Amino acid sequence: MSQRRVAITGLGLVSPYSGDLADFFTRLCAGESAIRHLSTDDRPRPLSLPFVDCPGFDAGAALGKPLASMMDRFAQLGMAAAFAAWDDAGLPRVADGESRDDWGVSWGTALGGTQAYENGYRDLWLNGRDRLSPLTVLLGMNNAANAHISIQLALGGVSMSHTVACASSAIAIGEAFRRVRSGEAPVMLTGGSDVPQAYGVARAWEALRVMAPGDADTSAAACRPFAADRRGLVLGEGGAALVLEDWERAVARGARIHGEIVGYGTSCDHSHLVRPEAAGQIRALGAALGDAGLDAADVDYVNAHGTATAEGDPVEVASLRAVFGARAAGLAVSATKSMHGHQLGAAGAIEAIATVLALREQAVPPTANLGPDTLDPACAGVDHVFAARRGVPLRAALSNSFAFGGSNAVLAFRAVPQ
């Protein structure tokens, strides 16, 4: 079976800035942090930590109250992002006579509807209720987002959910790409959504001791990837979606093409649940380049996984140095999590969109809270982007997602003349 080119014809976001793509990328290039201080009075004790939420998102307004009421927040964010990407692609929400029986959905989430289950546990154990809402399972199931997307857009092909920790949506995008490239599906809607602000989830992540500290005055700068004084990641909520389409089909209907997805590589470290290993990341990076038919010299930018953890950042840079060799010193690298936080299963999709926009706009967003004087020497050896670069020639770029469990995913994109 011949391989087809895959166009990216739709992009959709629910981000801490706004749902507007131009605004999202402008704020990233400005180095604007969306991290704020979250404080709650939840039992058994208050929660206080840096966090990223989407304060402007109104599920009822975005989806209509009847549909929104059938979803946990992670599915609401996902559905809203999916609608935005679909509209951006110029595709009608209601099938207009063309069969969509082979159009599909590939979605990523690390947590699924944890808020729905936590609400149920509260009702049972704290509020003394004997019965739960009959919607609890439907709200909480991990495939709720892709199920609703398939139903609302009448997509009759595959409807998959991927739960691979922080690599969930990157893997979802990669698997969607493979289906379009192989000719199995002419159109795939893909991406991810997560909401890690349930009290129990936040406490669990806090117990891992990988969370950056911060108060109301310091939270904006809490996430400092590659910096010598980095102290951990910052969790966030969000949703992001991409429409992947057979290139010839997209051109024939006159669609705007944001960029081209050209490669996908995966691997497993197979060594430790939480400690990353360079050998596994190197395999994923090499696989993505090979799949894309790219040489190291063809890649101008890498959107790093860059979570600002003590062990993760140096390993990622070491992996890039190993794969890119002499080219690494001139390879632009930035970690946009420093501004939009870590959306767990949605992070790969959000960063994929940032990468596609970087290629489209020929501009590289920075790693916020990082400068040449604060760079950890263990993270040196690549061209860290301390301030946005505009008007730079970008031909191809990679987006890295490296997860607990040792799962690694790398997506490769190519710029398309606009």
Name beta bridge partners: 265: 410
A 10 A CB-CB count for 53 gives 18
Contact predicate 240/389, CB 8 Å? no
Pairing status of strand 383-384 against strand 332-334: parallel
At 196, list the tokens: 């890690």
For the question of residue 166 being annotated catalytic, the response is yes
Helices (DSSP H) in 208-277: which residue ranges? 247-252
For the question of residue 37 being annotated catalytic, the response is no
Q: Return d(Cα 171, Cα 403) in angstroms, integer.
A: 11
Q: Return d(Cα 367, Cα 387) in angstroms, integer.
A: 7
On the 0-12 / 13-18 / 19+ scale of CB atoms within 10 A, 297 is: middle
Catalytic residue among 148, 162, 342, 384: 342
At 286, list the tokens: 């090499």
Query: Distance of alpha carbon 327 from its chain centroid, rounded?
Result: 26
DSSP 8-state assignment for residue 373: T
Catalytic residue among 166, 258, 340, 384: 166
Q: Return d(Cα 189, Cα 175) in angstroms, integer.
A: 11
b/e burial code for range 54-83 (CB count within 10 A of at least 16 → b): beebebeebbeeebbeebbbbbbbbbbbbb
Location of structure tokens 């001139």: 330
Instruction: Considering only CA atoms, give the Rg of the chain.
Output: 20
Catalytic residue among 305, 340, 379, 384: 305
Choose among 58, 7, 312: nearest CA to 177. Answer: 7
For the question of residue 268 being annotated catalytic, the response is no
Q: Return d(Cα 211, Cα 232) in angstroms, integer.
A: 5
Q: Return d(Cα 351, Cα 337) in angstroms, integer.
A: 8
Q: Count H helices and E strands in the chain, helices first.
A: 14, 15
At 243, list the tokens: 């429409």
Choose among 343, 170, 306: nearest CA to 232. Answer: 306
Active site residues: 166, 305, 342
